[in-house]
Amino acid sequence: MTATSPAPERPRVKLLPKANARALRHGFPWVYSNELVTDRRTRKLEPGSLAVLLDEAQTPMGTVAVNPTSKIICRMLDRDPQAVIDQAWFQARISQAFALREQLYDAPFYRLVHAEADGLPGVVIDRFGEACVVQPNAAWAEAHLEPMTAALAEVTGCTVILKNASGRTRGLEGLDDESLTLMGETPTAPVPVQMNGATYMADLTGGQKTGLFYDQRENHAFAARLVPSGGDVLDVFSHVGGFGLAMRAAGAGTVTCVDGSAAALDLAGQGAQASGFGESFTARQGDAFDQLAALAEEGRSFDVVICDPPAFAPSKQALEAGLRAYERIAKLAAPLVKPGGYLGLCSCSHAADLARFRNASARGIGRAGRRGQLIHTGYAGTDHPQLPQLAESGYLKSVFFRLD
């Protein structure tokens, strides 16, 4: 991109000899704190400062954002060490992301920016019609929020832009948890979102994350193909009814949604009413493990059971405990599936790779005394592109089994 103004003189930060400069040159976007020379000058940089990254031979590698307080001490923003990070720069990145989504979707409801994969490290932007919700989960993005917001409005034409500060990684970056309205009027009612034949209600100011989980859209569509006409479905960790409402729209007879959040279940119920099938919707609030056990005691069974829990293994330290939790969920859910029915299990834990998650799920099914055929593996939708060099960008896994 051609710079619109001269690049300012920037501090320079240098890789240690042990750092993997080749990986960075091939597209890996992060420098960890143990890979950088952290002298007094570097440690004094304000979180979110821009700098020129040098390799061991003092060769400039690009423009990076530096946060001396974070384990990810540098994030690569641009391969040009003279890049000007201004509104025009943001417009170029957002325009590229916008063009992809506009080609993929016929309505303006999608993840518009998926962080590193869209060239904006640590930034998530979800679009809800005329509103966008921004999660600036890195210090540099927080520091450049004004030009980013202006660029977002220019590219999309959105009249409402909200900042959501609930991201877990904001704490790791030393950022606050204050959510704000950056542009326009704060929404006072949930936004209806049409997906897979159902209507979902997204609370953009008080809901989980940005209000809706777009990443499961294509897995919702696959699950909907499994439902027999008039069948019974169970959606555990349902949030606003993601899987359940899609399956009901495809012809299921009844939908039971289980979640710990009364607010999320209320939104699921509103979505069911807006979709025209509120009479066949049932909500059960409570701990998912307890509810699965209670349903078994009641002798309930379903044609399709889906379990889409929060990240049980959000870090390497939590991996073993997380895998045990995934196994336990599978063990509790499998007995609720009718013979010949389907069990869908999901993980958004980037620390648990597909093989480990799939094996934990299969162990749980086996421990329940059931035998399953793995029929499909799903990932995040196409509005959540992956950066091939960054495994964390491919966090979502969904495995679907047909049980005997």
Residues 265 and 387 placed together within one structural domain of the fold: yes
pLDDT at 176: 93
Residues 56 and 141 placed together within one structural domain of the fold: no
As a whole number of Å, the CA-based R_g of the chain is: 23
Residues 224 and 243 placed together within one structural domain of the fold: yes
Residues 208 and 341 placed together within one structural domain of the fold: yes
pLDDT at 7: 57
Closest listed residue to residue 344, CA positions, set 235, 251, 253:
235
pLDDT at 329: 98
Residues 397 and 319 placed together within one structural domain of the fold: yes
Number of domains in the chain: 3
Q: What positions carry a catalytic annotation?
A: 348
Of 136, 157, 183, the one marking the end of a domain is: 183
Span 335-358, pLDDT tens digits: 999 999 999 999 999 899 999 999
Residues 249 and 373 placed together within one structural domain of the fold: yes
- pLDDT at residue 2 greater than cutoff 50: no
Span 230-289, pLDDT tens digits: 999 999 999 999 999 999 999 999 999 999 999 999 999 999 999 999 999 999 999 999
Assign residue 155 the CATH number of its domain: 3.30.750.80
Residue 11 φ/ψ, nearest 5 degrees: -65, 160
In a domain, 7, yes or no: no
Band of residue 5 on the pLDDT scale cut at 50, 70, 90: low
- In which domain, by residue range, is 143 found? 87-183
Residues 24 and 127 placed together within one structural domain of the fold: no
pLDDT at 6: 59
pLDDT at 51: 98
pLDDT at 1: 44
Sheet containing 180-183: order of strands? 109-114, 123-128, 131-136, 160-163, 180-183
Residues 63 and 106 placed together within one structural domain of the fold: no
Span 83-141, pLDDT tens digits: 999 999 999 999 999 999 999 999 999 999 999 999 999 999 999 999 999 999 999 99
Assign residue 352 the CATH number of its domain: 3.40.50.150
* Percent of the chain whose predicted confidence (pLDDT) is above 70: 98
Residues 224 and 108 placed together within one structural domain of the fold: no
Band of residue 169 on the pLDDT scale cut at 50, 70, 90: confident
In a domain, 192, yes or no: no
Mean model confidence pLDDT for the chain = 95
In a domain, 191, yes or no: no
Assign residue 55 the CATH number of its domain: 2.30.130.10
Span 8-67, pLDDT tens digits: 689 999 999 989 999 999 999 999 999 999 999 999 999 999 999 999 999 999 999 999
Burial classification of residue 80, based on how many CB atoms lie within 10 Å of its CB (0-12 exposed, 13-18 middle, 19 or more buried)? middle
Residues 232 and 346 placed together within one structural domain of the fold: yes
Show the CA angle centred on residue 9, arms to residues 77 and 20, nearest 5°: 40
Span 189-215, pLDDT tens digits: 999 999 999 999 999 998 888 999 999
Band of residue 334 on the pLDDT scale cut at 50, 70, 90: very high
| Residue 65 near residue 138 (C-beta atoms within 8 A) | yes
Span 55-91, pLDDT tens digits: 999 999 999 999 999 999 999 999 999 999 999 999 9
For range 320-329, the mean pLDDT: 97
Q: Helices in 122-231 by DSSP H: which ranges?
A: 139-143, 145-156, 168-172, 217-225
